[in-house]
Structure 1
Amino acid sequence: MRHAFSVLTVLIGIALFASEPTDSSYPPQQLLDRITAQGIRSHMEYLADDLLEGRGTGTRGYLLAANYIRAHFEQMGLKPAGDSGSYFQKIRFREVKPAPERDSLVIKRNNAEEKLVFEKDYLMSGHATHEDAKVEAPMVWVGYGVTVPELHYDDYAGIDARGKIIVAVRGAPSSLPSSDRAVYSDGIRKARNAAAHGAIGRITIWAGEIAKQVPWEQVVHFYHSPSMYWLDEKDNPNDYVPEILATALVNGQFAEPLFRGSGHTLDEAMASLNANKPMSFALSGTASLHDVARFSEKESPNVAAILPGSDSQFKNEYVVFTAHADHMGIGEPIKGQTIYHGAADNASGTAALLEIARAFAESGPRPKRSLLFVAVTGEEMGLLGSDYFAHHPTVPIEQIAANINMDGVSLFYDFRDIVALGAEHSTLDRQIRDVAQHMGLEVSPDPMPEQVFFIRSDQYSFVKRGVPAVMIGEGFKTVDPTLDGKKIFLDWMSTHYHTPQDDMTQPLNFDAARKCTQINLAVGYEVAEAADRPHWNSGDTFGKLFANK
């Protein structure tokens, strides 16, 4: 996941599954049986090997992984779906490496200056277009920095942000449904909202529930990696908001200087947000942000292939299976290791993608709709490969019926329930519940909406382009009653996530991985066979925000 959790679909909750639709097109068992635990393991063994050096975006190790995937697609007889008749869709990236020795964040008030300390108090990651970015302006507190007109919610109500640096916390109102909350938590959406209100800079405070679950020290570790942007043909970076001149992330434990003299405290402001009673107010003094970075350019490909559909009417529509093939590369040593292997995150999803592609390629007859398999690059750098593909699809975007994304398939225990992030927004929910019922599984809701899981993997890139999408994984209900799924997940998060220890020596349950892969295959099969392609539910937020993009 991009700066987030790899096995992000391991969630708790309870929801009874719906009755089986009468038009079920559940796949034949012989197709599902083509998915093997041994196949998943063998792909993971190669992709997570030291030889690939963590598959960092734009590195030799990632290119080895990309060529491995390409060779398997070609061996399966799948049609190339990249550039110029190849399997590769080449992408240029701008890598932004911070220069913290030159960064600064200074609060100026009453002819005095208070300099915050890099890493202890604040972090900066570099500007998208300027190696030396500066802004100095008055500050205003705007809660989450969110505006949702249809719900009559506006953190900017009653405050003039024009020419100001806005100060906000991560997240979105808890009153919003899970996936809606995730969408409005999106940093790019917040930056654009800030710019629309006239702001020229942003300070985000790491506070609240997320700060309890992800300590500041872990955030600092994440920021040691450079950031990236994909570049278009005019060298413009993606998701660039030119009105925002500089940004910073501030440690909530040391955010008091921002509120000094305002008549308010961070605790008071957070309590107001937690009570769903937002308030905005001017902060005393000005903030001066100086963000320095060094730019370089890299190239890294998506790998794409097509299995043509069998129906003359539907073969020009595509069900897209995605998984990110990249990971963190080589990084700071942890327990004496520097290669961040990314076995669960996301050699497992890539292995599932290859197994599903092989199962379909070796079976017959083919589904009615075409299947498009895309192993994307740059997920860990901000969903970059999938975002590029969604903006530059190798098939017409209006002909993409749905996206099924796999990021960290089940590996730690056999499970009795699944969580389908995003399913509630579209008719994909029908196929998911039908598959769950056939497999004797429950469908559980997202019980951790504050983690905004839905926007943290590649399905979100397709959603933003109007394509119904879902990411399906296991819940916390274990088949073995002696196992605590939640504890297993949280322990893994604290000891293995985005560390070199996410390797093939950790305990892994490949039978659970097979089961999860079969679920994703089955959902894709039902979508490919359905008489009607998926669509957003009537009146749904996602349909209003993203349809016809």
Structure 2
Amino acid sequence: MAHKNTFILSVLSILGLSCQERQADHSIATTLDSVALSAITESTYSQYVNQLSSDEFLGRKPFTKGDTLAVQYIEKQFKELGLSPGNGESYFQEVPMVETTSTPTEKQLIFQGKEGSLSTTYLDDFVVGSRLLQSDIQVKDSELVFVGFGIVAPEFGWNDYEGIDVKGKTVVALVSDPGKYDKTLFKADTMTYYGRWTYKYEEAARQGASGILLIHDTDAASYGWNVVRTGWSGPQLNLVDNVEKGKTTAFEGWISSETANKIFALAKLPSDIRDKAKKKGFKPVNLAVTTSIHLKNDIRKSSSNNVIAKLEGTKRPDEVIIYTAHWDHLGIGEAINGDSIYNGAIDNAAGVAALFELAKAFKATQIKPERSIVFIALTSEEEGLLGSEYYTQHPIYPLQKTVANLNMDAFSAMGATEDVSIVGIGQTEIEDYVVRSAKKFGRTVHGENNPSSGGFYRSDHFNFVKVGVPGLFMGSGKNLLSQDSILNTQRKKALEGRYHTVDDEVTADWDFQGILADIRLFFDIGYTMSLEKSFPNFKAKSEFKTIGEARLKK
């Protein structure tokens, strides 16, 4: 630990008073503000994370007591830090949602073929639910159709629904997109939005299907079946606007990879049918297999809250830089070794605590931000990025005056790294700020390790991107500064496998120095923007460049 602390101190010791230089026609903070950076401390940060991820907050699931406790705690911290309310006189933006708990009437789902049947078990083999605002959902004898990836993408010359009518049928689809398996297709191993489960649900509804079952694959999804089992069962939240007929199928769900193989065998399809679907020219296949779904829906309408605070800019207060982190997690679920509270320390008490540290740093700056800095703790990220979706559809600050969104989600507790990763690299000009700021700290920049996981579409910045606001999702790199290989191996082993489990808690295995280094980097990126007059946009090859340019012309 000593050599890492020495590194941090050596960086801070050479920091000078913040200054501004003219490059092109806008000012750039070329040195670091040592006073502001020193306001970011392990003592307060660790207190925030420990508190927010404690059992007291009951896993912070929206629509529960943990929701009320979490938003009240965040509001209290914003007030104590001297930040102004971010929504007029209030720190809250109400997000109206509907909670639907879908329960199969039978724990066995039967798939009937011409020469036999297959019985599968709820949670072990399949997970299914419905977003429709109906208490009773019945789909009888629905024919299954294998639609490959379930993608319609004219720009890539791809249509998995070509030549088939799936109205009233159940489509079965692979996760991810073709580029994961053939680097000449789509964006190679960088997943497009077409690879996200949300898109596949949306497209199935557009095609008129009665239901959709996604085939889980740990590598392609980048998470195990346990995440499907816990994340897609029990109460599910949606924005009220997203549960209308025509926007969703009657039911949506997942089947395990093993279950899919058994269904294909029941349909007497070749064992390599999945591989065939990964090649251009694949045609959808009627499986000659049917299934019936009967669900009971318990429906409850209510609201959760985004928690919003701001630090007003000195010269251009109408222009805003928005820092976000989602406060919600999974609440109370299946007990594992006697523990049923999903505390969500890394995901994402760590990000919310960073909002507080950033606020401290901006308050301490020697030259105050010229643009306003807005801090938003978002609700319902775990339910499908709902808090950020609601905000971007009902923005408090005009989108054309929103400079950028800097999003923090799931920091690494492995320790300080020489490098830093950008999720979805090549998308926005914010990356240029990352490179410039990282250089001040002696850090290098690269893309994420697993671009095929589609991380760029899986956190709250993406909803800002969809409306034309450049967003940044950034994390620690992989080149640890610590040379203690034994300790590094032990820590990695201890921290692995905590995602969406009851083990996502603060433990003695955490090394806070990497998180603090990343928060300092996030600060400098936003602080640099706050002293400028220009607006970052999207990169030339980004699919969002046109909408980004249109936003600024409004």
Same fold (TM over 0.5): yes
Match of 2:122 in 1: 118
Structure 1 residues 386 and 274: alpha-carbon distance in aligned structure 2, compared to 1, 3 A threshold? same
1:103 is displaced (CA, Å) by 6.2
After the TM superposition, which residues 167-186 of structure 1 pair with which residues of structure 2 at under 5 Å, given as runs?
167-173=172-178, 174=180, 175=183, 176-177=186-187, 181-186=191-196
User: CA contact under 8 A between 1:459 and 1:470: conserved in structure 2?
Assistant: yes
Are 1:216 and 2:225 counterparts?
A: yes
Q: Deviations over 1:296-349 (max 9, x none)?
A: 2343211101111222xx431211100111222222222322222222221111
> Which stretch shows the higher mean deviation, 400-409 or 379-388?
379-388
Identify which of 244, 260, 281 aligns with 2:249: 244
Question: Alignment partner of 1:454: what SS?
Answer: helix
Are 1:344 and 2:353 counterparts?
A: no
Question: Alignment partner of 2:496: what SS?
Answer: helix
* Structure with more relative contact order (C-alpha pairs < 8 Å, separation 6 or more): 1
Question: Alignment partner of 1:300: what SS?
Answer: strand
Are 1:36 and 2:46 counterparts?
A: no
Structure 1 residues 316 and 274: alpha-carbon distance in aligned structure 2, compared to 1, 3 A threshold? same
Structure 1 residues 489 and 536: alpha-carbon distance in aligned structure 2, compared to 1, 3 A threshold? farther
Structure 1 residues 483 and 187: alpha-carbon distance in aligned structure 2, compared to 1, 3 A threshold? same
How far, CA to CA, are the matches of 2:404 and 2:261 in structure 1?
46
How far, CA to CA, are the matches of 1:544 and 1:443 in structure 2?
26
Match of 2:4 in 1: none
Match of 1:474 in 2: 476
Identify which of 39, 56, 68 aligns with 1:51: 56
Give the AA of the match of 2:405.
Answer: N
Give the AA of the match of 2:212.
Answer: R
Structure 1 residues 128 and 196: alpha-carbon distance in aligned structure 2, compared to 1, 3 A threshold? closer
Give the AA of the match of 2:217.
Answer: A
Match of 2:133 in 1: 129
How far, CA to CA, are the matches of 1:167 and 1:331 in structure 2?
28
User: CA contact under 8 A between 2:421 and 2:447: conserved in structure 1?
Assistant: yes
1:80 is displaced (CA, Å) by 1.1
Q: Deviations over 1:144-171 (max 9, x none)?
A: 1122222222222344434432210111
Question: Alignment partner of 1:124: what SS?
Answer: strand
How far, CA to CA, are the matches of 1:153 and 1:70 in structure 2?
47
Structure 1 residues 189 and 387: alpha-carbon distance in aligned structure 2, compared to 1, 3 A threshold? same
User: CA contact under 8 A between 2:125 and 2:255: conserved in structure 1?
Assistant: yes
1:279 is displaced (CA, Å) by 4.2
Give the AA of the match of 1:308.
Answer: E
Question: Alignment partner of 2:58: what SS?
Answer: helix
Give the AA of the match of 1:184.
Answer: Y
Identify which of 205, 209, 217 aligns with 1:199: 209
Match of 1:332 in 2: 334
1:217 is displaced (CA, Å) by 4.3
Are 1:93 and 2:102 counterparts?
A: no
Match of 2:76 in 1: 71
Give the AA of the match of 1:482.
Answer: D
Question: Alignment partner of 1:379: what SS?
Answer: coil
How far, CA to CA, are the matches of 1:545 and 1:198 in structure 2?
28
How far, CA to CA, are the matches of 1:134 and 1:486 in structure 2?
51
Match of 2:308 in 1: 304
1:546 is displaced (CA, Å) by 7.3
Q: Which runs of 5+ in 1 are unaligned?
A: 1-20
Match of 1:226 in 2: 235
Question: Alignment partner of 2:367: what SS?
Answer: coil
Give the AA of the match of 2:495.
Answer: W
1:353 is displaced (CA, Å) by 0.6
How far, CA to CA, are the matches of 1:456 and 1:371 in structure 2?
24
Match of 2:149 in 1: 144
User: CA contact under 8 A between 1:414 and 1:512: conserved in structure 2?
Assistant: yes
Structure 1 residues 487 and 252: alpha-carbon distance in aligned structure 2, compared to 1, 3 A threshold? farther
How far, CA to CA, are the matches of 1:44 and 1:269 in structure 2?
47
How far, CA to CA, are the matches of 2:521 and 2:133 in structure 1?
42
Match of 1:425 in 2: 427
Match of 2:14 in 1: none
Match of 1:7 in 2: none
> Which stretch shows the higher mean deviation, 345-354 or 439-448?
439-448
Match of 1:290 in 2: 294
Give the AA of the match of 2:209.
Answer: A
Are 1:492 and 2:502 counterparts?
A: no
Match of 2:15 in 1: none
Structure 1 residues 435 and 307: alpha-carbon distance in aligned structure 2, compared to 1, 3 A threshold? same
Task: Name the count of aligned residue pairs.
Answer: 519
User: CA contact under 8 A between 1:465 and 1:547: conserved in structure 2?
Assistant: no
Structure 1 residues 546 and 187: alpha-carbon distance in aligned structure 2, compared to 1, 3 A threshold? farther
Identify which of 444, 447, 467 aligns with 1:445: 447
How far, CA to CA, are the matches of 1:257 and 1:545 in structure 2?
44
Q: RMSD of aligned C-alpha atoms?
A: 2.8
How far, CA to CA, are the matches of 2:165 and 2:364 in structure 1?
62
Give the AA of the match of 1:381.
Answer: E
Match of 1:399 in 2: 401
Structure 1 residues 219 and 188: alpha-carbon distance in aligned structure 2, compared to 1, 3 A threshold? closer
User: CA contact under 8 A between 1:309 and 1:315: conserved in structure 2?
Assistant: yes
Q: Deviations over 1:478-523 (max 9, x none)?
A: 11233487985575232x3223332233422122221110011111
How far, CA to CA, are the matches of 1:505 and 1:333 in structure 2?
19
Question: Alignment partner of 1:323: what SS?
Answer: strand
Are 1:164 and 2:169 counterparts?
A: yes
> Which stretch shows the higher mean deviation, 216-225 or 503-512?
216-225
How far, CA to CA, are the matches of 1:276 and 1:447 in structure 2?
27
Match of 2:11 in 1: none
1:428 is displaced (CA, Å) by 0.9
Question: Alignment partner of 2:45: what SS?
Answer: helix
Give the AA of the match of 2:197.
Answer: G
User: CA contact under 8 A between 2:78 and 2:309: conserved in structure 1?
Assistant: yes
Match of 1:187 in 2: 197
Structure 1 residues 238 and 398: alpha-carbon distance in aligned structure 2, compared to 1, 3 A threshold? farther
> Which stretch shows the higher mean deviation, 188-197 or 138-147?
188-197
Match of 2:65 in 1: 60
Structure 1 residues 59 and 218: alpha-carbon distance in aligned structure 2, compared to 1, 3 A threshold? closer
Match of 2:317 in 1: 315
Q: Deviations over 1:425-454 (max 9, x none)?
A: 111111011112121112122231332222
- TM-score by length of structure 1 reads 0.86
How far, CA to CA, are the matches of 1:330 and 1:78 in structure 2?
32
Are 1:281 and 2:285 counterparts?
A: yes
1:532 is displaced (CA, Å) by 1.6
User: CA contact under 8 A between 2:59 and 2:66: conserved in structure 1?
Assistant: yes
Question: Alignment partner of 1:54: what SS?
Answer: coil
Are 1:253 and 2:258 counterparts?
A: yes
User: CA contact under 8 A between 1:140 and 1:281: conserved in structure 2?
Assistant: yes
